[in-house]
Amino acid sequence: MKRIGMLTSGGDCQALNAAMRGVVKSITNAEKDVEIYGFLEGYKGLIYGNFTMLTGKDFSGILTKGGTILGSSRTPFKLIREPDENGLDKVEAMKQNYYKLKLDCLVILGGNGTHKTANLLREEGLNVVTLPKTIDNDLWGTDMTFGFQTAVDIATEAIDRIHTTADSHGRVFIVEVMGHKVGWLTLNAGMASGADIILIPEIPYDIDKIIEKIHERTARGSKFTILAVAEGAISKKDAKLSKKEYKEKMKNYKYPSVSYEIADLLREKAGVDVRVTVPGHTQRGGSPCPYDRVFASRLGSEAGKLILKGEYGFMVGIKNREIIKVPLEEVAGKLKSVSADATIVKEAKMLGISFGD
């Protein structure tokens, strides 16, 4: 009999259910004697032994369902070695629950922080297989993460809809797209929707360059300008600050987010009418797009194959359109950022898109 534990950790996204379904279907179609233990609310469930027994029926009809049937939570890696409020050793508790249930392996679905903890559990001797989930597409070792394409579709549609009202009123519109540390989502949604200016964390912006672009468009007869701004976008001035100085500045930050600061500066320095739109968590919600359904199913199937073969310690990813396995130690702690010299950035600039640099 195979005993498999599953959990989803970190922020939710589309196709988590599709990926879990892929894992379970691929295993149960090959081996009938299988027990699936679903840990609730991410690593919390594994720490406190909060789980539910799952059967094939639980994975029926969830291919198109967003979110996660197991629930999720954030358990920061930097706190994982610290005892909880009752003095419980979290890592030891996870190990004990794993051994108590006599699990053959853990299937963990998550992003960067999740993979750090997954690798720690691997180092502690547990059998682990992971799947790359995040709308940010910032996991090292895979060209794509599931949830990303659906989020691109949603953010693109939001910006598409802004175009008509921006044109009607002759305004500058800022659409704030999710992405604290990397700009893959903003870059792709911005290009797909025809944004005029794209601001991402990896390329610090100069407000005067943004104003130049707006004036350039006005001179050409364009009544409006669309900015796609990542929530983690940063000015060149702030990028020069030390971490300590930047943290100090943010203590007294008067804006809800960087988009509102940029809007104020544009009103003040360029005298333009500006509006800010924040799609927010809509980018993480709803049903996965067809691409993500197929992609997550493929990853789940490959994870199932690894489990059947007893190959552990890997993240299942994709490279050059082929599903691959990547050693967890190569993935954990690494971020896949947008390079300022990336081909896609150069191509966007050739199309006339400004990055404010």
Q: Which residues contact 260 (CB under 8 A, 6 or more apart)?
A: 276
Alpha carbon separation from 300 to 36, 324, 342 (Å, rounded): 14, 12, 30
Backbone angles phi, psi at 325, to 5 degrees: -115, 135
The two tokens of residue 8 are 């989803």
Give the H or E element holding residue 230.
Answer: strand 225-230
Would you name the residues annotated as active-site residues?
136
DSSP β-bridge partners for residue 295: none
d(CA 110, CA 130): 8
d(CA 339, CA 159): 24
Answer for the pair 173, 277: CB distance below 8 angstroms, yes or no: yes
DSSP 31: -
218-251 in b/e burial notation, b at 16+ Cβ within 10 A?
beeeeebbbbbbbbbbbbeebeeeeeeeeeeeee
